[in-house]
Amino acid sequence: MSAPDRYPPLPETDPGLRQRNVALVDLLDRVLAGGVVIAGEITLSVADVDLVRISLRALIASVSSLTAEPATEPTAEPAGEREWEP
Amino acid sequence: MTYTWLYAIAPADTGTPPPDTPGGVAGEHPRTVGAGGLLALVGSVPAPDFDADLLQRRLRDPQWLEPAVRAHHRVVSATGGRALPVRFGTVYRDDDRVRALLTEHAEALRTALARVADRTEWGVKAYLDQARLDQARANEARTSGDAATDPGPGGPPDDRPGTAYLLRRRAARDRDTRDLADAAARARQVHLALTGLADRSTEHPPQPPEATGVRDPMLLNGAYLVHRSREAGFARAVRDLGEQHAPALRLELTGPWPPYSFVDLPTGDGAP
């Protein structure tokens, strides 16, 4: 799978970027992991899609880190290690 | 030469996509293929670009993938919620194979369609609302004359500022742990309450702060299949639950979505 640093940088000044990121993550949850699974002749396997989802999230993360305000110390544990499992 | 990208499967009386339907994953105009009393919403995509190898590679290219995911979603949504969304990346050699699929799986597809008929999917996410929680606590401390912040007789002696600092740090950490546990329990209650109002419900993994850009931890990423006649009540319930669990939780409602999360085929190969 692709390393996050391979991704081209995106513009960081888009004011709607955060909202758009959130919407994209919601979309990924559904479009890549949902929908009826039927075998096509050329079909992405579920494993592929999981990889894709992870790499896209890595992309979003790299964009988010560009736009995030200066980080404060996290006040709670990160929301879910299990996130990254298939 | 082209392949056939499959977007969604709809009842036969759905009709054909209007000319202003947004373009598909290859910018193509979506069309329909009918068989077995069903319609498949498809698009013709250029064969070399969508060969297995190239498709796998393009999938790793976010510049291609994000617009493609959005295009897939737009075409699925253009059916007005009457269709079964198909998993992104399902491609056939030609229309005949799509017709064969519709005929072969007609029963299972019709059953799956009936399960989501007149229903839409709604997403509800719950976050720990640290900022509002801190604000509420500060207000409370002010109105009660700062008594709440007085460490009391058990507090550290004034001549040991280092110890006092460490104790304050520990108290803050304990409080944060309690806040998170309390908010997580509240998120469970929200999910149970909304499940009671929905035909079906499921949960996606919580999205990590790095992916959303929202630093507060996400404690619920729920999906709910709701009948159209109950949509208003569902939205009202989300608002009421949001008020009930403030300031600990912040709820976010998204939708209506096509029923992506509720399309399991009762039989047939490849069903999850």
Q: What is the pLDDT of residues A36-62, one digit of tens each?
A: 888 777 766 655 666 666 666 666 665
Across B177-181, B212-216, B236-240, least confident range: B212-216
Tell me the one-letter amino acid at B211.
Answer: A
pLDDT greater than 50 at residue A10? no
The confidence band for B63, taking pLDDT boundaries of 50, 70 and 90, is confident
- B130 near A CB under 8 A: yes
* Reported pTM: 0.79
Set of chain A residues whose Cβ sits within 8 Å of the Cβ of B211: 21, 25, 57, 60-61, 64
**Residue that the structure tokens 């004359």 belong to:** B145
The confidence band for B233, taking pLDDT boundaries of 50, 70 and 90, is very high
Across A1-10, B45-54, B97-106, least confident range: A1-10
Residue B39: what pLDDT?
A: 94
- B207 near A CB under 8 A: yes
Mean pLDDT of B118-137: 92
pLDDT greater than 90 at residue B120? yes
Residue B16: what pLDDT?
A: 76
Which carries the bigger pLDDT value, residue B99 or residue B141?
B99
| Backbone torsions φ then ψ of B44, nearest 5 degrees | -90, 120
Rg (CA), chain A: 15
What rounded mean pLDDT belongs to chain B? Answer: 88
Among B60, B72, B219, beta carbon nearest to A31? B72
Give the minimum alpha-carbon distance from A15 to chain B in angstroms, rounded to a whole number.
13
The DSSP letter of residue A42 is E
Mean pLDDT of B126-136: 91
Residue A44: what pLDDT?
A: 66
The answer to whether B261 and A34 are in contact (CB under 8 A) is yes
3-state secondary structure chain B: CEEEEEEEEEEHHHCCCCCCCCCCCCCCCCEEEEECCEEEEEEEEECHHHCHHHHHHHHCCHHHHHHHHHHHHHHHHCCCCCCEEECCCEEECCHHHHHHHHHHCHHHHHHHHHHHCCEEEEEEEEEECHHHHHHHHHHHHHHCCCHHHCCCCCCCCCCCHHHHHHHHHHHHHHHHHHHHHHHHHHHHHHHHHHHHHCCEEEECCCCCHHHHCCCCCEEEEEEEEEEHHHHHHHHHHHHHHHHHCCCCEEEEEEEEECCHHHCCCCCCCCCC
The confidence band for B14, taking pLDDT boundaries of 50, 70 and 90, is confident
Residue A48: what pLDDT?
A: 65
What size, in residues, is chain A? 86
Share of chain B above pLDDT 70, in %: 92
pLDDT greater than 50 at residue B31? yes
CA atoms within 13 A on the CB side of A29: 30
Q: Which of residues 245-264 of B touch A (CB under 8 A)?
A: 254, 257-258, 260-261, 263-264
pLDDT greater than 80 at residue B234? yes
Tell whether ipTM is more than 0.85.
no
Which carries the bigger pLDDT value, residue B173 or residue A49?
B173
What rounded mean pLDDT belongs to chain A? Answer: 56
The confidence band for B228, taking pLDDT boundaries of 50, 70 and 90, is very high
Residues 6+ apart with CB under 8 A from A77: B180, B217
How many C-beta atoms lie closer than 10 Å to residue B133's C-beta?
22
Which carries the bigger pLDDT value, residue A64 or residue B176?
B176
What size, in residues, is chain B? 272
Mean pLDDT of B52-71: 83
Residue A53: what pLDDT?
A: 67
Nearest Cα to Cα of residue B12 among B97, B106, B78: B106
Give the minimum alpha-carbon distance from A37 to chain B in angstroms, rounded to a whole number.
5
* Cα dihedral A39→A44→A50→A56 (10° resolution): -140
Residue A79: what pLDDT?
A: 33
| Backbone torsions φ then ψ of B225, nearest 5 degrees | -95, 115
